[in-house]
């Protein structure tokens, strides 16, 4: 029933334009964020995501100083996650701009970006810049971890803007490699979030988003615990029609 309700909300959003979905669980909003992130220059990417990168990289590259000391005695690969809210900057009202991007072929551009994830991002799609699609702000790093069943601690931060974020990164600790590889990891992570949006509606994602890996944290927990789901969070899972992407992470 929950899946049916969510699919109904998505249908109303797509066919009538009403904002029935939370902004950071809207696959179109996440797709726009993916493109905006992929289009950043190296300097822009470091400015917005350098702190997030260093926090992640520390777990597998201890020579990198973490901005926040990780909680002690927590399994970083399963019970600890780092969140970062992303706010898009658009030259017009956000919902109207997203609809224009969808009409202009945004999802095709996202598909090409994911297909070329191991190469420098270069997709034949320009309306991002024409519509002012860019990242306006990100929040401070937010730490969340579980200390027991149903007991979650979240170290909250003040939002940089007085509106809902367009997307929230929710990565557990994973091998990050270089800053360049970490950008690919975030693009892949957003693709997996889009996958989760569709799976939570009870429908198969479009082919471009049939990825294996980490998307939403709560979705990964459902995939672990409920028999009706495949282990989509597992990079090494064998699920017909789903693929693992080698983004150059160290093993």
pLDDT tens string, the chain, 251 residues long: the values are 889 999 999 999 888 888 898 888 999 999 989 988 988 889 999 999 999 999 999 989 999 999 998 887 777 667 889 999 999 986 667 777 777 778 777 878 788 788 777 554 444 445 444 555 789 999 999 999 887 666 788 888 999 998 889 999 999 988 888 999 999 999 999 999 999 999 999 999 999 899 999 999 999 989 998 998 999 999 999 999 999 887 876 66
> What backbone phi and psi angles, to 5 degrees, belong to 195?
-55, -45
Please give the model's pTM, rounded to 2 decimal places.
0.90
C-alpha span between 3 and 229 (Å, rounded): 13
CB within 8 Å of 223: residues ≥ 6 apart:
229, 230, 231, 232, 233
Residues 57/141, Cβ–Cβ less than 8 Å: no
- Listed in order, strand segments (DSSP E) in the chain are 80-89, 134-138, 142-148, 151-155, 167-172
Three-state DSSP at 77 gives coil
Residues 188/213, Cβ–Cβ less than 8 Å: yes
> What backbone phi and psi angles, to 5 degrees, belong to 171?
-90, 135
Q: Looking at residue 132, what is its pLDDT?
A: 58
C-alpha span between 91 and 101 (Å, rounded): 13
Three-state DSSP at 130 gives helix
> Cα angle vertex 124, ends 118, 125, to 5°?
110
CB within 8 Å of 76: residues ≥ 6 apart:
59, 70, 172, 173
Q: Looking at residue 46, what is its pLDDT?
A: 96
Rounded to the nearest 10 degrees, the angle between the axes of helix 27-39 and helix 179-200 is 170
Q: Looking at residue 122, what is its pLDDT?
A: 47
Beta bridge partners of 138: 86
C-alpha distances in angstroms, 172 versus 73, 79, 184, 226? 15, 8, 15, 20
Tokens 């929950």 correspond to 2
Q: Looking at residue 127, what is its pLDDT?
A: 45
Rounded to the nearest 10 degrees, the angle between the axes of helix 42-57 and helix 179-200 is 80
C-alpha span between 176 and 57 (Å, rounded): 5
């Amino acid at each position: 029933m929950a899946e049916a309700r969510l699919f109904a909300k998505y249908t109303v959003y797509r066919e009538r334009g009403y904002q029935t979905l939370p902004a950071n669980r809207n696959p179109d909003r996440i797709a726009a964020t993916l493109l905006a992130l992929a289009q950043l220059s190296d300097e822009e990417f470091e400015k917005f995501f350098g702190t997030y990168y260093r926090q992640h990289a520390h777990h597998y590259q201890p020579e990198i100083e973490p901005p926040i000391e990780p909680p002690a005695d927590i399994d970083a690969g399963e019970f600890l996650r780092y969140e970062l809210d992303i706010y898009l900057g658009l030259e017009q009202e956000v919902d109207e701009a997203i609809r224009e991007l969808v009409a202009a072929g945004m999802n095709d551009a996202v598909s090409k970006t994911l297909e070329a994830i191991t190469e420098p991002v270069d997709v034949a799609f320009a309306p991002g810049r024409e519509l002012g699609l860019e990242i306006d702000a990100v929040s401070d790093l937010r730490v969340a971890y579980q200390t027991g069943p149903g007991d979650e601690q979240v170290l909250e931060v003040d939002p940089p803007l007085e509106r809902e974020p367009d997307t929230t990164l929710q990565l557990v600790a994973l091998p990050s490699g270089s800053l360049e590889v970490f950008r690919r990891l975030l693009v892949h992570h957003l693709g997996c979030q889009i996958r989760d949006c569709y799976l939570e509606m009870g429908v198969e994602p479009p082919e471009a988003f049939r990825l294996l890996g980490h998307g939403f944290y709560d979705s990964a927990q459902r995939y672990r615990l409920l028999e009706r789901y495949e282990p989509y969070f597992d990079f090494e899972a064998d699920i017909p029609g789903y693929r693992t992407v080698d983004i150059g992470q160290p093993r």
